[in-house]
Structure 1
Amino acid sequence: MFGLPYLGKYINSVVKEQPVADSVDWLNYYVTAVMLATFSVCISAKQYFGSPIQCWMPKEFSGGWEKYSENYCFINNIYRVPINDPIPQDLDEREDKLSYYRWVPIVLALQSMAFFLPNYLWSMLHKQTAVNPRSVVNEIRKCKALCGKEREVEVNALASYISDVIDVFNPRYRKELARSGWNATILYLFVKFLYLVNIVGQLLILDRFLGGTYLSWGFETIVDVAQGKTWQESEIFPRVILCDFTVRRLANLQRYTIQCVIMMNMINEKLYLFLYIWFLLVAVFTICNFFYYFFILCFPYFRTTFVHLNINKSSKDWQSTSSRDFRRFVHDYLRPDGVLLLQFVRQHVGGRVTYDLVNELLRIFKGKQGVSVESSPETPKGYRGNNYKKNISEHEPGTYKSTNYGPGGLYPNYPGAPNESSDLDYIDGGSTLPMSQSEERTPMRSIASHPQGSSPRSFPQEDTPRSFLSGVGPRLIDRNGRTPSAPVNEYSTLPPKTSV
């Protein structure tokens, strides 16, 4: 483009539709920005390379004087006087009342940059968030062209990746913004707010730039056109103006007042009327879009409603999920960043793939939380069974994973102790050994330390797994005072310690 290396590639990379932006964002940073840049280039070509102004010269002016006068009047003092009014004699009343048109191309270019700036900020910063929506959306886009088993495999793989990313939203880290599940949401809402401030601010700046009557002029002009009235010349965009300049003739200074016509104001008038209507429409869309995202991301009820509308109601995972578990899935698992990610997926891929992705995420969530484990009334509260081994890393090493923390947990004969059919797990250093009824249980004696010369203290018989890890429950020793590496098949008594 323009013969400059890499310029065309750069422009295409920064102005194309982004995978992590919605249609209103695209309307702001792409459509409006490109439109303003195009207007700026066209008006610049006419203004700086054409004939923006033409003046009616006195008879004695030659061709050189005519060119000089037009250039002088274009860059210096001009003013408007109605055709039926006399020219004021007071020079102070002939101040430069109309100077904005010289800056129209530059102002349009600055406006274009202002519309593009929020998207540039979002493109640079969203990659630093924990979610990184761009990579997810780029991968999920590949699923649109797939079908059947291939799409299912791709969606499941992507759901596993998203689940791993969401795992950083651990409750213990929510005081840290980077792991709170809010950092991408806060950044995106801030960008939305910048779009809103930009469009409202541009309307107010244009009103000031065009003399303080732009907003009322636009409304009145639209009403006149709608009523079929003749388009009349306005004070904001006059076509015929007057210009004063002084010519030095020998030792005398001679003042001239000439009449000029600015053809560009005919174009500027139509251009700014179009921008008035366009900015109002973009402002309405941007305001509605900002509050839409604000509500679905910041209010739990609307987050739940959004995810509920994007899930397959006929799936078994959904039908077996209680309302309480579904709220936990939305608020504690997905968090606002996960909901924002699903919004991008639906925006760029569609509802079908979004349904599959949400259902797979729900299945993963239920598997991690042990929601699908069926418990009976006799099952202790908090019991997860063997299915809970997936979350074994959440517990500290050496923890006895049972909600029965009383003596019954150690002594089977104590009231409230778990029966032999209980599926108990012993944990040590992240390892888990399930107990099954088919495993042979070997009685062992637990010996506690005792004073010298006293007889050993005997404890009630305890059921022990065939392989028992050290560091869990009471200390087990054999008759030689050693911790057995294999089951001991008989009771033994350790003789009292003797002093050396």
Structure 2
Amino acid sequence: MLEILAFVPTFSKLRGRPNDDWIDRMSHVYTTSILIIFTVAVSSGQIFKHPIQCWVPAEFEESMEWYTEYHCWIKNTYYVPMLEEIPDNISERQDAEITYYQWVPLILLFMAVLFKCPNVVWRIFNDGSGMNLDQMVLFAEQTQLGSPKDRDKSIKSLANFMDKWLDSNVEKNLTFINRKKAGKYLTVLFLFVKVLYVLNAFGQIFLLNAFLSTKNSFYGFDFFENWKSNRPWRDSPRFPRVTLCDFQIRQLQNVQRFTVQCVLPINLFNEKIFIFIWFWLIFITFLAVCNLFMWIYLVILNTSKIQYCRKYLKMNHELHKKFDKKLCRKFAENYMRDDGILVLRVIANNLSDMVVNDLVKELWKIYKNKNDQNTKTGEDAPLLNPVVKTNLE
């Protein structure tokens, strides 16, 4: 038991990397973990227990009974409701065969892989912005652990690094291919990954409904209606408890055909597992859609970026004059831009507003110093939108 527990990941590892928000982790961490747990549970039930038990003729010996059960498990069984007659046509029986239950662990594992794919896309391509968000958030987290003096020093180092990154993203030629230099690469990728989470959740709901093949369009609502009306839950055509199996035994030149009735106790668990998964997918889809629209609102609206910066500057008592308020607008639009604001939001989502508050204060000081120096030398680059400057040139 101790050896098994040694392989159980700690909660910090289960959180995933701190480069997204908790709703993304609901998909690629927690949902993936749940599906893997179900995969292990179903696999162990198939390997270490008897997944099928058949009612064999009395003349069968124990070895023949074992052979029958293994044969029916490998060959597949077919489902005919108890009140219906068994078809005489062999082809009709073969058409009614249930071929899925051996593959339930692989189906669950495939669903887990699909939930992980959007996060893999995000982790592969977010380095293209020149910012390692993982290390950025981890370094920001370490600033909270030291003494006040060390904390101030770390915040200044973090602000200087972010300033260099913001400056490196400014480019005179703002073509579509070079969009990451316009401070939008990370933001566009972030929203694209959010769309992938929504499409994945929606797609898995429809695939699951097609797999369960019920009369109603929504498997979970069908179950809920039966439970609410106190009607007995009928045998699902995908998870029947009692099935039939045909097999042949060759004895010299004689071939005997048998039809036996079998019980699939594993389907009792499979049915409950997929009912839970269906409702969980609805929950995850709702969260992903709400999260997508929230981030679209925060990213697309220009006033949102300005208000975000203004909030922290007011907390630091940095906005004293009308000029400061005008400078705050240019600070958000021309200096921080979309990617810079996104990095601040990611840090705030994974840590606290206190770190972002101090970081914005240091970035504001750096920006004002640059603005003062450019004013003395007659340059106005920081106050102009890069697109306007390009047009002027």
| TM-score normalised over the length of structure 2 | 0.86
Task: Tell me how far 1:228 sits from its aligned partner.
Answer: 4.5
Compared CA separation, residues 210 and 231, structure 1 to 2 (3 A): closer
Task: Tell me how far 1:213 sits from its aligned partner.
Answer: 4.9
Normalized per residue, the structure richer in helix is 2
Deviation sequence 1:252-282 (CA, Å, 0-9, x none):
2222111001000100010000001111101
Distance 2:292 2:147 in 1: 35
Tell me which moved more, 53-62 or 141-150. Answer: 141-150
List alignment gaps of at least 5 residues for structure 1: 374-382, 395-500
Distance 2:290 2:231 in 1: 34
Aligned to 1:172: 172
Distance 1:392 1:294 in 2: 31
**Are the counterparts in 2 of residues 80 and 242 from structure 1 also a CA contact under 8 Å?**
yes
Is 1:37 equivalent to 2:25 in the alignment?
A: no
Compared CA separation, residues 124 and 314, structure 1 to 2 (3 A): closer
Q: Give the alignment of 1:98-177 within 5 angstroms.
A: 98-146=98-146, 148-175=148-175, 176-177=178-179
Q: Give the alignment of 1:348-427 within 5 angstroms.
A: 348-370=350-372, 384-385=375-376, 388=377
Aligned partner of 1:153: which letter? K
Secondary structure of the residue aligned to 2:314 is coil
Compared CA separation, residues 227 and 123, structure 1 to 2 (3 A): same
Secondary structure of the residue aligned to 1:248 is strand
Aligned to 1:401: none
Aligned to 2:55: 56
**Are the counterparts in 2 of residues 211 and 236 from structure 1 also a CA contact under 8 Å?**
yes
Distance 1:319 1:229 in 2: 69
List alignment gaps of at least 5 residues for structure 2: 383-393
Aligned partner of 1:178: which letter? K
Task: Tell me how far 1:167 sits from its aligned partner.
Answer: 0.8
Task: Tell me how far 1:297 sits from its aligned partner.
Answer: 1.8
Tell me which moved more, 311-320 or 289-298. Answer: 311-320
Q: Which structure's relative contact order is higher, taking Cα pairs within 8 Å and 6+ residues apart? A: 2
Task: Tell me how far 1:76 sits from its aligned partner.
Answer: 1.9
- Aligned residue pairs, count: 376
Compared CA separation, residues 393 and 115, structure 1 to 2 (3 A): closer
Aligned to 1:47: 46
Compared CA separation, residues 100 and 210, structure 1 to 2 (3 A): farther
Secondary structure of the residue aligned to 1:319 is coil
Q: Give the alignment of 1:13-412 within 5 angstroms.
A: 16-94=15-93, 95-146=95-146, 148-175=148-175, 176-211=178-213, 213=215, 215-309=217-311, 311-320=312-321, 321-370=323-372, 384-385=375-376, 388=377
**Are the counterparts in 2 of residues 243 and 258 from structure 1 also a CA contact under 8 Å?**
yes
Task: Tell me how far 1:8 sits from its aligned partner.
Answer: 6.4
Tell me which moved more, 136-145 or 224-233. Answer: 224-233
- Root-mean-square deviation (CA), in Å? 3.0
Distance 1:224 1:363 in 2: 64
Task: Tell me how far 1:173 sits from its aligned partner.
Answer: 4.3
Tell me which moved more, 138-147 or 101-110. Answer: 138-147
Task: Tell me how far 1:227 sits from its aligned partner.
Answer: 4.6
Task: Tell me how far 1:392 sits from its aligned partner.
Answer: 10
Identity of aligned residues (%): 30
**Are the counterparts in 1 of residues 319 and 325 from structure 2 also a CA contact under 8 Å?**
no
Tell me which moved more, 217-226 or 257-266. Answer: 217-226
Aligned partner of 1:120: which letter? V
Distance 1:105 1:98 in 2: 15
Deviation sequence 1:2-32 (CA, Å, 0-9, x none):
99xxx96999998542111110111111111
Distance 1:227 1:319 in 2: 65
Task: Tell me how far 1:145 sits from its aligned partner.
Answer: 2.4
Q: Who wins on radius of gyration, i.e. which is larger?
A: 1
Compared CA separation, residues 223 and 143, structure 1 to 2 (3 A): farther
Distance 2:31 2:217 in 1: 19
